[in-house]
Amino acid sequence: MNFKNEIIKELNQILKKGQVLTDLEDLYVYSFEKIFLDQLNIKPDIVVRVSSLVEENELKKLAKKEDFILIERGKSIVPILNKSSKPIVLLDNVEIPKLESCLDETNQKDDLITSLNKFPISGYGTYRNLASAVQNLLIGKTLNKCQKCTTCSGYCTVSPSFNGVETLSSKGRMLITKGIMKGDLTFSEKIVDILYNCTECGLCFAQCFQDLEFHEAILYLRHKIAENNLVPQIFHTAASNIFEHGDPSAIPVNRRLSRVKNYSKLNLPEKAENLCWLGCTVATRTPKTAESFINILNHVDIDFTMLGEEEGCCGYVLISSGLWEEAKKVAKRVIERVEKTKAKSLITSCSGCYYTFTRLYPEILDVQMPCEILHTSQFFEKMIKNEKIKLKPLDISVTYHDPCSLGRHSNVYDAPRNILKAIPRLKLIEMSMNRNCARCCGGGGGLWSFNNKVSLESTKTRLKEDLAPTNVNILTTACPQCQLNFRFASRTKALANKSLKIYDITELFELAMNFE
């Protein structure tokens, strides 16, 4: 056993699993620390991620005992001789960045949030444009910024679940992507794991990265993973289920609307001006949202229809996981079925479906929906403005969670708030992190399926850090996946918040409707 392996063995004895990093991917990411960039040909042999002062002191004692070179991340060091045979161990003791601290670093938190909320969403363009944009993003100015930085001050939704290891942070994924693009790295099982342990929420935030959207790079890299036949099996299974059952979880077609009580009473035409699109998750997992949606449409005297068991899946999970060719086949099916209804407007209560139809279809798959796409909040807002809906008072206080798909990715922030504010006596209390700065619930990008534990840990953070300080016990959102995540997380032993009530915004709107 050589000296380096002996040190690794001893480190593993005093530290927990996952704290001693020796994989090529980890060493590559940490090699971009300024302390190594300043000294050519010097790279870390081992990275140790500590989580306490006790662990740090144990490491320093071992360094003296075994006489290896210990470099503390972010600290200046004396020059290391290139010929030194001693292993170089990088001590990573940097505190896991928090979103609030990232914003506070500007000393203009309120102004920054305002500017971010006004920041226009960027488009992917065509597949070729996306590839070009990603290449420019990662090999251009971002790399130069990283080289001038001592340590990353960025925020990542899932990073705390991995003890803040840089490889599994937004910066780490950016550097991994850069390595792939430049040919420094090749796809490996670990790189696949790194890129799929991400919600694609778009909240990769650092003071120096405000104008960059790393989730676009993740989306592109996942497609390259698909081209290399390395997509995790769970997403191939979802694809098979969508083609066979019209649902990623293989819920049989004849059970799709079995929990939606009022659907069977409808006498729907084959063609109509408006198409009510529920989406997989709403139809099968949040039936109360579906019931409220249908009740409202049925009482506002508009011409509408539904696809029912023929609706199927929009294909979001396929696009987000990189299976774009399979997604194109699903999109073609969807468009054909929608065209048969002759609908001029498609209305959906699922923010994921809305994002898929309005942005991912045209910008990734290069296909267009044959009609106008409206989220239910936008539709209700129109009805209020046209004075076609009368609302009764609700004496409640609520807070609203911005879904990533509807907010950051689609720029729909005002419509949900406007319909809540239109309900008499309802009091809307905003969480501190809201609109473009709203923390992700952890359910996007396929993470719910790929790593459910990490997904729920992100949900708990949103509930503890942002919801709890409001002292509000009614949480509303406009996304079925967010709703499910909040329900599951609020029932865990860590939170056990039995008083918290969670509603889709459609359900609250129905409660305020005066059906008389």
Same domain, 322 and 429: no
Question: Tell me, what CATH number does 35's domain have?
Answer: 3.30.43.10
| Burial (CB count within 10 angstroms: exposed 0-12, middle 13-18, buried 19+), residue 20 | buried
| Burial (CB count within 10 angstroms: exposed 0-12, middle 13-18, buried 19+), residue 424 | exposed
Euclidean distance between CA atoms 218 and 203, whole angstroms: 13
Q: Label residue 116 by pLDDT band (50, 70, 90).
A: very low
Of 386, 292, 32, the closest CA to residue 176 belongs to 32
Q: Label residue 209 by pLDDT band (50, 70, 90).
A: low
DSSP 8-state secondary structure symbol assigned to residue 400: E
Domain count, the chain: 4
Residue 282 lies in domain:
233-383
Same domain, 211 and 248: no
Same domain, 371 and 252: yes
Q: Which of 325, 351, 383 is the last residue of a domain?
A: 383
Q: For residue 99, is pLDDT > 90?
A: no
Q: How far is Cα of residue 21 from the mean position of the Cα atoms in its chain?
A: 26
Sorted by sequence, the CB contacts under 8 Å of residue 411 that are 6+ apart come out as 120, 121
365 in a structural domain: yes
Same domain, 242 and 371: yes
414/113: higher pLDDT: 414
Same domain, 341 and 427: no
Element (H, E) at 475: strand 474-477
Q: Which of 177, 202, 227 is the last residue of a domain?
A: 227
Q: Which of 69, 92, 115 is the last residue of a domain?
A: 92
Same domain, 242 and 356: yes
Q: For residue 262, is pLDDT > 90?
A: no
pTM, two decimals, is: 0.90
Question: Tell me, what CATH number does 479's domain have?
Answer: 3.40.50.1860
Euclidean distance between CA atoms 388 and 301, whole angstroms: 9
Same domain, 248 and 357: yes
388 in a structural domain: no
Euclidean distance between CA atoms 22 and 429, whole angstroms: 47
Same domain, 497 and 480: yes
For residue 319, the SS3 value is helix
pLDDT in tens, 242-253: 999 999 999 988
Q: Label residue 151 by pLDDT band (50, 70, 90).
A: low
Mean confidence (pLDDT) of the chain: 86
DSSP string, 413-430: -HHHHHHHHTSTT-EE--
Euclidean distance between CA atoms 315 and 327, whole angstroms: 5
Of 242, 168, 253, the closest CA to residue 447 belongs to 168
Q: Which amino acid is at 11?
A: L
Euclidean distance between CA atoms 264 and 250, whole angstroms: 22
359 in a structural domain: yes
Give the end-to-end CA distance of the chain in Å, rounded to a whole number: 82
pLDDT in tens, 418-477: 999 999 999 999 999 999 889 999 999 999 999 999 999 999 999 999 999 999 999 999
